[in-house]
Structure 1
Amino acid sequence: MDAGGGNSLPLSSVGDVAKRRVCYFYEPEVGNYYYGQGHPMKPHRIRMTHALLQAYGLLDRMRVLRPSPLPECDLCRFHADDYITFLRSATPDKVSDAHVLRRFNVCDDCPVFYGLFEFCQTYAGASVGAAKELNSGRANIAINWSGGLHHAKRSEASGFCYVNDIVLAILKLLEIHDRILYVDIDIHHGDGVEEAFYLTDRVMTVSFHKFGDYFPGTGDIRDIGYDNGKHYSLNVPLDEGIDDESYHYLFKPIIAKVMEVFKPAAVVLQCGADSLSGDRLGCFNLSVKGHAECVKYMRSFNVPMLLLGGGGYTLRNVARCWCYETAVALGVEVEENMPDHEYIGYFAPEFNVNAAPSNMENKNSRKSLDDIRAKILDNILKLQHAPSVQFQEHPTYMELDEEVEDMDDKKDDCNYDRDYWPES
């Protein structure tokens, strides 16, 4: 794919990080998908991000790959057959009856639109393709900004998400890696990914999110995993208005301790941009550079890393954020003043790559942050050690259902779906 437009602005290397081999997945048609009038999720933001990457010359610095649509059989590695069959057949002109729509949670938030199944195959194919690049060693960092749809469950849509590309990508990484760390900096709790791996010690999930009267309503600090997965789920509940300094006050020590104790072979970082200041649906106060500091910090550990998109509903800020974070992945610095490109009008009047924070109140007191940090670090210290199991044949759904039935009496108080999880 021709990158083009790479000579308008100089790019300087970032001195404190080494060069990485980066690959980037992009489907030119992804911006054409349309959830419907008034819906806040707009795939057009991916096209805007790509145009900005091209204008800054960042496409020339990495391998740009077009994803292959993920086959139905691969979608069913995690999702239920009947749910995938429904997604494949549903169109606005031919939707199932109300009972079926309720069963799969297809509603105003998750509508049926033209090309829905192809859209799911595209973004999931890009995430799984990115995982394959990491598995092969052809890339140190793989990027798919169209992915990161973390709310989708095994048998239902949720929160604008239909297929959980993150779970599918992690399953692909688990084919050769013993331990995977999943980190989520979207403003919403990464509930679909946490549920999928709630019972295993091979995947550790860490979610930083708004907690309280806020979708999806999960992610309490007391939710830490169950059975073999106990203490392998970490939830960092935050209040509105959190700024860069407060966010990093939690993020860096928590991630440092996780990396030290869990020792993941690869990291999946969901970079939902709805945690930025000024997001249409968000209530945090992070700048683009503050958000990107999380990417830079994860990159500093020098383990294979998959960067994914997620939420983000103020389009100009989403494009700014993911462009800047691509530059961080590459180890280069982009100029503040934005180069001219086809969507430059979206970025008026500042025309710069950073989205600065506002003066909104930070409702996260230092005492509350200290309490959260102490509890999370204490949970990490309860881990026995980094698991060191070899990859095993995945159990069938029937075998998993039998396991769950045998364990039902012990798990009545555990909030999880009977999803796929890898053997410990």
Structure 2
Amino acid sequence: MTETFSNDFKTEVLQPKYEQNFGASYQPHVSYHYNPAVSQYHYGVRHPMKPFRLMLTDHLVIAYKLYEKMDLYTPRAATKEEILEFHSEDYIDFLQRVTPETLNKFSSELKRFNIGDDCPVFDGVYDYSSIYAGASLDATEKLLSGASDIAINWSGGLHHAKKYEPSGFCYVNDIVLSILNLLRYHPRVLYIDIDLHHGDGVQEAFNTTDRVMTVSFHKYNGLFFPGTGYLDENGIGKGKNYAINVPLNDGIDDDSYIRLFKSVMDPVITTFKPTVIVQQCGADSLGGDRLGCFNLNIRAHGECVKFIKSFGIPMLVVGGGGYTPRNVSRLWCYETSIMTDVTLESKLPMELPFRNFFNPDCSLHPNLGDKLDNKNSRKYLDNVRIKILEQLRNLNGAPSVQMNEIPPDFKKLTAEEAAELDALNNEERDSMVDAKDEARPGELVE
């Protein structure tokens, strides 16, 4: 039976591309932090990291009109002083000075700073790093001021970078910088990583503290990059048992992953009682990723993020890995809709730029699963879960924190700003102020 009427193009453009989900008890205030300049950098023709995936993500967010549901910010780049809160000065000086044309002048430093195929020197490498790091820091500032309950920066999440060197396509560790910023006013920060690869840079940075708990779900066989992340890596000294690793084998499917994720994260949050959460949403754990080896579909990945959101704890949400750009952008757009409590049409909007890039199905939810055999038996996953629960039992509840351990401010605050932020210095989220600060002039994108 053929349709009698069809919409004209103007009607199609103006028609809503989402449905509001009503009835949710938790309706967070969401902010979206994106500097378009970050997508203009290029690691190299053969390199799997493609920053233009961020432009595709932004096009999808705009085409679905999700900007109507969020505060939009164009953040500034991080300053050198802010980056040096974690990274060493000689390493950052090197990033600022080196260019593809001057590589031969730095021959003695290339090996020292781990420069090679994974972490090449490309035009503007320092500027690129400072842009995505600045977006994450801007997002944390909105959380600290109470302007946002959930702050999103898809350009962030580069979890492998170390204090003294780049690693795994990551040059500046925006996650570590963000957590240091959050620790100024939050007693306990929970970091969750669902990238295909172990979040080694973040774990290493906070291995010796009980104020940050790191939880990473990733592929592990001892050889797969970065070669770390087994169950017995659980923290050092005061940080003993505050690093949790969930090592997985190839081919894990939607049901297995979701079941394990919820059975681990529920007791983690109940035990640790975080006052803020940093959620890294690496898309290379999707099925069909260029560097991937899992069978996850977009809805399953998003279900994990939705579960964490359901606890009603302030969240910084960042990107990470992901090397099939069309699927990366689909995922992060979908997870943006989860944060904003809307349901998106599965068919991609007709007016979407580069829509042919999503051929042949032009769908938000292509089938990405069942490509590989699932080598994670139920028995194996149950054993992993049991060992993690045993580790949690050794914590004896959430650690108490004396807030005189707070790191120094990233920036100088006025007396009025300091007084306002001091109001947030409470151990439990329930005592936080509800009022939202107005955006600083020039930051809000119309």
TM over 0.5: yes
Offset from partner CA, 1:287-343 (integer Å, 9 cap, x none): 000000011000000000010000000011000000000000111111111102112
The corresponding residue for 1:383 is 395
The corresponding residue for 1:139 is 148
Matched, 1:43 2:51: yes
Which letter maps to 2:403? Answer: F
Return the offset for 1:19: 1.6
The corresponding residue for 1:344 is 355
Return the offset for 1:75: 0.3
1:176 to 176, 185, 188: 185
Query: For 2:395 and 2:108, how far apart are their aligned partners in 1?
Result: 43
State the TM-score, normalized to the length of structure 2.
0.86
Which letter maps to 2:383? Answer: D
Offset from partner CA, 1:135-165 (integer Å, 9 cap, x none): 1111000000000000000000000000000
Return the offset for 1:221: 0.6
Return the offset for 1:11: 2.2
SS of 1:258 mapped into structure 2: helix
Greater Cα offset, 102-111 or 160-169:
102-111
Query: For 1:6 and 1:347, how far apart are their aligned partners in 2?
Result: 22
Query: For 1:10 and 1:230, how far apart are their aligned partners in 2?
Result: 45
CA RMSD of superposed structures (Å): 1.4
Return the offset for 1:67: 1.0
Listed as ranges, the matches of 1:92-241 within 5 Å are: 92-95=100-103, 96-212=105-221, 213-241=223-251
SS of 2:86 mapped into structure 1: coil
Return the offset for 1:166: 0.1
**Quick one: structure 1 residues 206 and 273, their matched pair in 2 at CA, closer, same or farther if it must change by over 3 Å?**
same
The corresponding residue for 1:422 is none
Which letter maps to 2:158? Answer: L
The corresponding residue for 1:417 is none
State the TM-score, normalized to the length of structure 1.
0.90
Alpha-carbon contact 1:6-1:55 (below 8 Å) kept: no
Alpha-carbon contact 1:146-1:308 (below 8 Å) kept: yes
Alpha-carbon contact 1:18-1:331 (below 8 Å) kept: no
SS of 1:259 mapped into structure 2: helix
Query: For 1:83 and 1:127, how far apart are their aligned partners in 2?
Result: 21
Matched, 1:313 2:320: no
2:74 to 36, 46, 66: 66
Which letter maps to 2:272? Answer: F
Query: For 1:164 and 1:205, how far apart are their aligned partners in 2?
Result: 15
Listed as ranges, the matches of 1:259-278 within 5 Å are: 259-278=269-288
- Number of residue-to-residue matches in the alignment: 392
The corresponding residue for 2:434 is none
SS of 2:317 mapped into structure 1: strand
Matched, 1:363 2:372: no
Query: For 1:311 and 1:192, how far apart are their aligned partners in 2?
Result: 14
Return the offset for 1:245: 0.6
Which letter maps to 2:43? Answer: Y
**Quick one: structure 1 residues 16 and 245, their matched pair in 2 at CA, closer, same or farther if it must change by over 3 Å?**
farther
Stretches of structure 1 that go unaligned for 5 or more consecutive residues are 397-424
SS of 1:97 mapped into structure 2: helix
SS of 1:235 mapped into structure 2: strand
Return the offset for 1:197: 0.1
Matched, 1:326 2:304: no
Q: Rg: which structure is higher?
A: 2
Alpha-carbon contact 2:18-2:342 (below 8 Å) kept: no
Percent sequence identity over matched residues?
A: 51
Which letter maps to 1:370? Answer: D
Offset from partner CA, 1:175-221 (integer Å, 9 cap, x none): 10000000000000000000000000000000000001210000011
Which letter maps to 1:75? Answer: I
Alpha-carbon contact 2:184-2:406 (below 8 Å) kept: no
Alpha-carbon contact 1:189-1:218 (below 8 Å) kept: yes
Return the offset for 1:350: 1.0
**Quick one: structure 1 residues 168 and 6, their matched pair in 2 at CA, closer, same or farther if it must change by over 3 Å?**
farther
Return the offset for 1:346: 1.2
**Quick one: structure 1 residues 6 and 163, their matched pair in 2 at CA, closer, same or farther if it must change by over 3 Å?**
farther
The corresponding residue for 1:30 is 38
Matched, 1:298 2:294: no
